[in-house]
Amino acid sequence: MSPGKPSAQSEAAAPMVAGARLEAMHRRVRLSRVAVWTLIAAGPIALCVAVASTPTTLAAAPAAKPTAVRTATSAAPGGYAQVFVGAWLRSNANNETTAQARLAQSMAPDVELPAPAAGAQSAPQYVTAVRSAQRADGAWSVTVAAQYAGGSVRYYAVPVASDSTGSSFTVTGAPCVVAGPDRAEVAKSSYSVTVSEGDLSSAVGQFLAAYLTGAGEVDRYLAPGVKLTAVSPAPYTAVAVQQVSAVEEAAAAGQLPADGTKVRVLAAVEARDATGRWPLAYELDLKARSGRWEVAALESGAAQDGGAR
């Protein structure tokens, strides 16, 4: 073979190799395009299959805690009946233009006004609602006490109607005079232990003197953590303890008990001012500490900031 022939063959083979490579590249491009379009076409299907085949756990959202909504409760019409009876008793059918007559008629359009005799002292000094009883939905009977000069008291029962919300009332009939309520039976007092004069009664007297007369600082008689403010301005000039009764037997002990001992007492006192003397009663909690009694709470409804802390 001549030296020129291999060169010719090589030159001829070169385009063939290049063409093969180009064809392979084209093939790869076509396959890539097919793969891309296949993936695009299969995308939604694959997504659906994945969603359908993949177990999904749905965590239940915690139930929202109900929000407490405060609504206005239906009020008993005691105050309404009280105002009506006061205006009605001070009215006169012979003069319906007075303020009291107009007020009574506006509250009870169908109720006649009284006609007191000329010069009669029929108007009460005080009028107070003492009892409200609901007979049915929207129907009430209110008992009102009218106190007259001289101390006499007369009780009136008044029928009152209310709307569904308890915000509007009307007196539906004339008042009727009724017997007053009976005195309720009360349980025997738990303050059955008599406390004689001594450290406990002295502590009670000193505290109440500071509390009611301003004689000394109240804080010095209080247990740690207790906050009470003296009555201001001081209403009395002197306070004297008349009797102290307790619930616990420890209050009657001749010697001061161990630290931390607690007792509840009822102190009957006499307070004095320029106008006279006044019998008062106070319920107190006391606690023994460091050889003395200290006030831990004032339970008579006058404690401030929650009393004991």
Question: Residue 100 has what pLDDT?
Answer: 95
CB-CB contact of 293 with 286 (8 Å) = yes
Question: Residue 262 has what pLDDT?
Answer: 95
Sort strands 153-162 and 176-178 into parallel, antiparallel or unpaired.
antiparallel
Determine the Cα–Cα distance for residues 103 and 88; give it in Å rounded to an integer: 8
Angle made by CA atoms 56, 60, 62, in degrees to the nearest 5:
155
Question: Residue 127 has what pLDDT?
Answer: 96
Question: Residue 10 has what pLDDT?
Answer: 43
End-to-end CA distance of the chain: 122
Task: Note the residue count of the chain.
Answer: 309
pTM, two decimal places: 0.61
Give me 242's structure tokens.
Answer: 């008349």
Question: Residue 273 has what pLDDT?
Answer: 96
Helix (H, G, I), strand (E, B) or coil at 184: coil
Determine the Cα–Cα distance for residues 36 and 113; give it in Å rounded to an integer: 100
Q: What region, left, alpha or beta, does residue 290 occupy, with left being phi > 0 and alpha being psi -120 to 50 degrees? A: left
Determine the Cα–Cα distance for residues 36 and 205; give it in Å rounded to an integer: 100
For residue 257, is the peptide bond before it cis, meaning its omega torsion is within 30 degrees of 0? no
Question: Residue 140 has what pLDDT?
Answer: 94
Determine the Cα–Cα distance for residues 81 and 88; give it in Å rounded to an integer: 10
Chunk the chain into consecutive blocks of 10 residues (it has 309) and report each block's average pLDDT, rounded to whole numbers: 45 46 53 46 44 44 45 68 96 93 95 87 88 90 94 95 87 95 89 94 96 93 95 96 95 87 96 96 96 92 39
Torsion angle of the four alpha carbons 32, 34, 39, 40, in this order, in degrees rounded to the nearest 10: 110
Question: Residue 302 has what pLDDT?
Answer: 41
* Domains observed in the chain: 78-178 (3.10.450.540), 193-298 (3.10.450.540)
